Amino acid sequence: MSRQYFGTDGIRGTVGQAPITPDFVLRLAHAVGRVLQAGAGPGSARPTVMIGKDTRISGYMLESALESGFNSAGVDVILLGPLPTPGVAYLTRALRASLGVVISASHNAYPDNGIKFFSAQGAKLPDEWELAVEAALLDAPVWAESAKLGKTRRLDDAAGRYLEFCKSTFANDLSLRGLKIVVDAANGAAYHIAPKVFHELGAEVVAIGCAPDGLNINDGVGATHPEALVQAVLAQTADYGIALDGDADRLQLVDATGRLFNGDEVLYLMVAERLGRGEAVPGVVGTLMTNMAVELAFKARGIPFVRAKVGDRYVLEALEKNGWQLGGEGSGHLLALDKHTTGDGLVSALQVLQATQRSGKSLAELMQELTLFPQTLLNVRLRAGLDWKAHTPLFDAQRAAEAELGNTGRVLIRASGTEPLLRIMVEARDAAQALSCAQRMAATLG
C-alpha cells in the first residue's frame, strides 16, 4: 500500500483544499484514535493525545476538528496552544502521553497548514504507522458510546515547561551575559518563548518576528528569510542573530558581521565542539544535500559520515540505526539525540552559543577549518501533468553536467515532499560552473 496523504513531514496542503479541510481532519483524528485504541490492548488506560499548533489563523479550526475526532474515538486530548514542534515532542514524552500532534505547515506561508505526529517517546513515527492510519481512514467510523467518549483539557503552563527544558540543555557553568542577540521567531510558534530563553540565560535580547496576527507567519522573517535577521543584527550592532521557522524546529545563525551560517556549518560546529571537549563522536548523519566539504572534513577527522534521504525523519532513522547522536540538514534541521528526541532550533542555537562561550572564540573563528563548496539550489515549479522522471531533456542535461563536473562536483535532482517543486542542486568547486549547470537543467522544464 502506498501513502496517499502522508508526505515527508506529516500531511500538508492549502487550507480549504483536500486534505486540509475540517471534515477530513476530523476523520483523520478518528482514524488515528482507532489505531491508538487497537495498539493499546484490552484493559489499557484510555489513550491521551497532546495537540500543539503554530500561529496560523487556520489552527483554531483544525484544532477543533482534531479534538472532536479524537474524542469521538474515545481518546482524551490535552491542548497545548501555540507551541514549537519540538516543545510538543518534549511534553508528549515528559507527561507520558500516547501521542503528540502538531498543527503546522512549518516554513510555508499562512494559507497552508498541516498535521504531524510524534510517538509517546517524542520521536517521528515510522512509515508503517502512517500506513496503518491510512488504512483506518478507509474504514467506516466506529463512534465511541457516550460513556467512553474522550475528554479535553488545556495545559496552561505548556510554554513555561518547554522554556525550562530548553534552558536545561545549556551548560550550568556558562551564561550569555554580555551578549546582545537578535531573536527572530518568524511570527510563529516560538514568538512567546524564544526571546525569554536567551534573556533568562543572561543575554540582552532584541526580538523581531515575534508579533503574530495569524496571517504573517514566515512573512519576510524567520529562517526562510534570513535577510531580515542580517539587517537587524547590523542595525542593532548585535553579537549574534538567531532565526527560527514557523514551528521552530529549524535554525539559521548570523554573526556580528552579518555572515549567515547554515545548517551544514552548525552541524560541523556541534561535532567539533564535542571533539574539543574530548567526547567521542562515533559518526554523523547528513543528507543527500549536505555540502561535500562537511563530509570531507569529518572523514579527515576519522569520523564516519552517512547520507540519508532529505527530511529530518530520515536523518533520525539513520542515527537510530547506527546508534549515533548528531545529524542534520543544511536547511537548519539539526539533531542532537543526547539533548532531545527531535530537531529543535532553540536547543541547537544554545549548543552553538555554548561552544562560543566556552571557547571565547567567534563563530567565524570556530569555522576557520571549514570552507563550504559553492552550491546552487534551484526550486523549479512543475507544470501540472509533467512527469519529471520521464522528461528526457532534463536527464540529458543532467548527464552533460555530470560529465563536465567529473570528480570536482555532483548533481542531485529530487522532488519536494511538501510542494509541487523540483529541486535541482549542483555542487562544484567553482560557483559559476555550479550555477551554469543548474540553470541548463532547470531550463529544460520551462
Give the up-direction half-sphere exposure of residue 11: CA atoms within 13 A in the CB hemisphere.
Answer: 23
Sheet containing strand 99-103, strands side by side: 11-14, 112-118, 99-103, 48-53, 76-82, 152-154
| Distance separating alpha carbons of residues 19 and 131, to the nearest angstrom | 16
The secondary structure of 31-54 as a DSSP string is: HHHHHHHHHH-TTPPPPEEEEEE-
Asked if 398 contacts 410 with a C-beta cutoff of 8 angstroms, the reply is no
In angstroms, the first-to-last Cα distance of the chain is 33
Catalytic: which of 98, 106, 331, 348? Answer: 106
Report angle CA 167, 54, 308 to the nearest 5 degrees: 75
Q: What are phi and psi of 321, to 5 degrees?
A: -60, -40
Q: Is residue 152 exposed (0-12), middle (13-18) or buried (19+ Cβ within 10 Å)?
A: middle
- Cα 393 from chain centre: 33
DSSP reduced 3-state for 182: strand
Q: Round to whole Å and give the CA distance between 189 and 380.
A: 29
Question: What are phi and psi for residue 191, nearest 5 degrees?
Answer: -60, -35
The phi, psi pair for 22, rounded to 5°, reads -60, -35
Q: Among candidates 330, 348, 329, 353, which has minimal Cα distance to 338?
A: 348
331 is catalytic: no
* Residue whose C-alpha cell reads 474515545 in the numeric block: 74
Residues with active-site annotation: 106
